[in-house]
Amino acid sequence: MRRATERSATITVAHPRAEDVRRLLATHLAYAPAQTPPEDAHALDLDGLLDPAVRFFALRAGGELLAIGALERLDDEHGEIKSMHTAGRPGAAGSEGPCSTICSPPPTSWAWRA
């Protein structure tokens, strides 16, 4: 995987049911629980990502899915990063870049409704 900074990449609001997104989400749901103590594991499955309080994003370059991430609105001033995962090997050098970009805080004017 080439780093997102090496080619033109775009972040868009995405649908968790898109085929390539579902595959990466399945990888995330298999990987994440093994890295987190059970009491701290709060990964959202497909149904959770469809909640109106969640905004789901995809980072793509040249049509290739590089990363996914979601922000869950908790209240008017707080949100939580959810389901953040890159298409590269987990923990690989540079793999945090796309996720940091995709889940940067939204602008204050961001409307949570799709």
Over residues 60-100, the pLDDT tens digits come to: 888 899 999 888 888 887 888 887 888 875 444 444 555 55
Q: Does the model's pTM come out above 0.75?
A: no
Return the residue matching tokens 């789901």: 56
Say how far apart CA 31 and CA 35 lie, in whole Å.
Answer: 7
The type of residue at 114 is A
CA distances from 55 to 5, 8, 27, 47, 82 (A): 23, 23, 20, 13, 9
Say how far apart CA 77 and CA 88 lie, in whole Å.
Answer: 32
